[in-house]
Amino acid sequence: METETSPREQYHQKLVTPTAAAELVQTGDMVTVTGGSMQPFGFLAALSRRRDLRRVTVSSSMSLLPADFLVRQFAAAARGEAVEREIRWSSVLVGPGTGEGVATGVVDFVPVSLPNLGRALQGTRLDVLVVGSSGMDEKGNFNLGCNVDWMPELITSTNLDETLVVVEVNPSLPRTMGTTTFPLRIVDRILEVPRTPVDLPVGAERKEARAIGAFLNGLVPDGATLHLGIGDLVSQAASLLDGKRDLGLHSDLISDVALHLRDRGALTGKLKVHFPGRWVGSFLLGSRRLYDFANDNPVVALHSYDFVTRPENILRNPKVVSISQGVCVDLSGQVATQSSQMEFASHPGVLRTFHSAAASSPGGAGIVVLPSVSALGRGTNVVDVLPAGSAVGIPRDEVDVVVTEHGIARLRGATLPERALAMISVAHPKWRDALAARARKAGLL
């Protein structure tokens, strides 16, 4: 009588080196890898050493560090040389590891609404899927760790008989709860690459954050359920909500600001209706302290973008307040989340979904924060017309509230002249007269 092989034995049978896994990639392959803190750095380093491949595309979500082949491509572009793109990087989210590449055309950016990405990927060709994991449990289930993203939909919708599934295990990353597991039986190869997690703590203090945080305190009620978008300005301004009581969290991103608010008694989640007491999100991004907190912690519940951004799930909680960062806003209220220089301030589709839901939530608000002037003070972020090449993240008919360090512009239900006056009032004083003159010339005032 044959003895059934245990999950641990099957695990070791599938265990290979990163080099051996990368050797399985063939010319012309479409490869998808996990992004964020779960990016499979060992596999990508081994793939970068392959100089025989042609027409290989690696697609991912946010990348915190560029793969070695991208570093070579960035360097060639900086020297003005021809860029060898035998391996191309394609990204649906722009992060620190790919921002330079998108701006120079080395990285292919795919504009897609992230809430719909899982469904959009169904039926698409996928030759190799490389999933980052924090490890396997005794039942043979791998954990997605910090990044659930759209992996559940991708795994269930892909014809795995035609896809090579590789798992890169880093036991230094947290085991998280929620929709965070997938079975060993679908996995073809396993890599073990222990390394210190790449963290992304809050950056240097933004001078506008304190004033914006003070305005947020007047907009966010006790008991609100927060969505906090990506960006240092959001994190720093939202951290000043630490005097509030019984806040909850339902957000695509869970960052260190949640720990800050919890430590000060502001974030309890006890008034939430949907997952009371839980921090609901799709991915973690922050410091090692955040990852340690999330490890085996039922307070943190990670689910797919499709689940987290579904309006009916968002609106099951009371007083939803979405706080996201914009790049610039025009006098009619259009919010750009991508500049003409390919600067990104939010995740495509996510900001709009949360903003619109929050604006319709009784007692809630959709809030966009931004500094009144651009980096180094070179220009105003409140403009009469959005610069060519900007991408609108929230159209003017959905925008609710805009906050700069100079005040609050309430735009929902306002006429075009009222919007122009409100936006001019939150612009930097240096630019207000010029903006008023342009508004009058355009017939807005």
Tell me the per-residue pLDDT of 347-362, one tens digit each, with 9 for 90 and over: 667 889 999 999 999 9
CATH of 9-192, one of 3.40.1080.10, 3.30.565.10, 3.40.50.12280, 1.10.10.60: 3.40.1080.10
**Amino acid 246: pLDDT:** 98
Q: Is a pLDDT exceeding 70 seen at residue 119?
A: no
Of the candidates 285, 279, 277, 389, the residue with the CA atom closest to the CA atom of residue 328: 389
In the 8-state DSSP scheme, what is residue 325? E
Of the candidates 344, 360, 322, the residue with the CA atom closest to the CA atom of residue 393: 344
Note the pLDDT tens digit of each residue in 429-441: 999 999 999 999 9
Q: Would the CATH topology of 9-192 be identical to that of 209-441?
A: yes
**Amino acid 161: pLDDT:** 76
Give the separation between CA 267 and CA 258, rounded to whole angstroms. Answer: 7
- Percent of the chain's residues with pLDDT above 70: 92
Going from N- to C-terminal start, the domains of the chain cover: 9-192, 209-441
Terminal alpha carbon distance of the chain: 87
CA distances (Å), origin 59, targets 47, 65, 107, 222, 424: 13, 14, 10, 41, 41
- Complete DSSP assignment for 423-435: HHHHS-HHHHHHH
Taking the domain 209-441, which CATH number applies? 3.40.1080.20
Amino acid, res. 331 = L
Note the pLDDT tens digit of each residue in 281-334: 999 999 999 999 999 999 999 999 989 999 999 999 999 999 999 999 999 999
**Amino acid 203: pLDDT:** 66
